[in-house]
Structure 1
Amino acid sequence: MAPKLILHEIVPSPPVRAVKMLAKALDLELELKPVDLFTKEQYKPEYLKLNPTHTVPTLDDNGQIIWDSHAILIYLMDKYAKNDSMYPKDLVKRAIVNQFLFSDASIFDKFIGIMRPIIFGSVREINDWQKKVL
């Protein structure tokens, strides 16, 4: 029986796309459930029950809830990969993969801190300091 994997997503999200690409590489079918950030759906009680950090993506694997794209990617590899070619068991090789896997965390935080006021607020320009940070 194929696993029932539900992915709570927003389409333009790079972390969501990473999960979708891995699912495709692992030949896993995802049921996609859009989360509307503009109506603040991520703060509704039913979503907060799934993910108290109110972020996307969030994965529901037959009732096992995993949030944060990095955790989801590792979980899917450990549970569903047929071998360890993409996520090696060898510690040194895995550390190299993890370097790339987690490198976005510090970069993305800076980016989203600058972009959030533009997307959700009234800011329309990036200042010189922000350009240097990016």
Structure 2
Amino acid sequence: MEHEIRPLFMPAEYVDKPEMVLKDDQELIYDSPAIIGYLVNKYAQSDELYPKDPLQRAVVDQRLHFETGVLFHGIYKRLQRALFRDNATEVPKDLLAELRDAYGMLEDFWRRIPIWPVHG
């Protein structure tokens, strides 16, 4: 499959960082979980990567959206605000604790089901 990856700058109300973009034919798809889902749905030979079983699919979706849901919105945005808007000189202790907890969750994902990737 021919592909081209390049940064896409979205208006601030949508995304405040460049996202990776997949261009397939004339369609642009941005956001890593959407790109992964699209590629698997279009090209996978079986449902091994993205199961049809609702519980197994929920586990895959949980991993796909971990970075955007837990890390980015839950922690990164607050960290960015503290350091750049509030001019903090060090990371607030409560955010460090949340970050450790989030990465603890990530490690738990790998221990329980190591075959399912977590992107980021």
User: What 5-or-longer segments of structure 2 have no aligned partner?
Assistant: 100-120
Please list the CA deviations of residues 99-132 of structure 1 after superposition, one character each: whole Å capped at 9, or x if unmatched: 222233222223322453658x965420223223
Q: Within 5 A, what are the aligned runs for 1:1-134?
A: 3-8=1-6, 35=7, 42=9, 53=15, 55-104=18-67, 105-116=69-80, 118=83, 123-134=88-99
Does the C-alpha gap of structure 1 residues 81 and 131 become closer, same or farther in structure 2, counting only changes over 3 Å?
A: same
Query: Which structure would you say has the larger RCO, counting Cα contacts within 8 Å and 6 or more residues apart?
Result: 1
> What SS does structure 2 have at the residue aligned with 1:133?
helix
User: What code does the residue aligned with 1:112 have?
Assistant: Y
Please list the CA deviations of residues 44-82 of structure 1 after superposition, one character each: whole Å capped at 9, or x if unmatched: xxxx7xxx6463111111221111111111001001112
Q: TM-score, normalised by structure 1?
A: 0.54
Please list the CA deviations of residues 6-41 of structure 1 after superposition, one character each: whole Å capped at 9, or x if unmatched: 222xxxxxxxxxxxxxxxxxxxxxxxxxx4xxxxx8
User: What 5-or-longer segments of structure 1 have no aligned partner?
Assistant: 9-34, 36-40
Shift of 1:133: 2.8
Q: TM-score, normalised by structure 2?
A: 0.59
User: What code does the residue aligned with 2:94 have?
Assistant: W
Name the Cα RMSD after superposition: 2.9
Residue 107 of structure 2 is matched in structure 1 by none
Aligned residues: 94
